Amino acid sequence: MTNLSLLLKSQLQEKEDLTELLRRLVILIPNRFFYAPDIYTEYYQFYQIDISDSVRKVRQYKRGSAQERTEKEMLSSLIQLYHEELEDLANRKRQRLLELLLQQGRQDQKASILALAAKYHIEKWLLSLESER
């Protein structure tokens, strides 16, 4: 992994504008890393409780019954809403992170790129993106 960091560091020295690389870096960070601590708030916990309750309801009906189908449809809708909320949360935080990174000076941006790439194990992806150019 150290070799990847050194290679990435050398590529960063050659780049004049780091804006596009920062955008790609932030996009490559998986959504789940943006959930905390918000996912532990009441808002998201209510979703989790509602989903658990719906799963219990689905399990109490006979397989293939109309009630089971109705509950499954409601559960599916609830899960989809929950995932959309999580996606929105991640996108908002991702945008905020990008704004903060773009406000930094060049040296700080390079340090942030190296730190984030190592933290989220995405050095290979960043290097492959750069080699495509």
d(CA 34, CA 29): 9
pLDDT tens for residues 84-131?
999 999 999 999 999 999 999 988 998 898 888 888 888 787 777 655
Q: What DSSP assignment string belongs to 8-25? A: HHHHHHH-S--HHHHHHH
To the nearest 10 degrees (0 to 180), the angle between helices 66-103 and 106-119 is 150
Does pTM surpass 0.85? Answer: no
d(CA 123, CA 9): 10
Q: Residue 130: what pLDDT?
A: 59
Q: Of 23, 24, 29, whose CA–CA distance to 98 is shortest? A: 23
Lowest mean pLDDT, pick from 4-8, 13-17, 116-120: 4-8
The count of structural domains within the chain is 1
Quick check: 15 and 113 in contact, CB under 8 A?
Answer: no
CB-count exposure of residue 122 (10 Å: 0-12, 13-18, 19+): buried
Domain span including residue 8 = 2-132
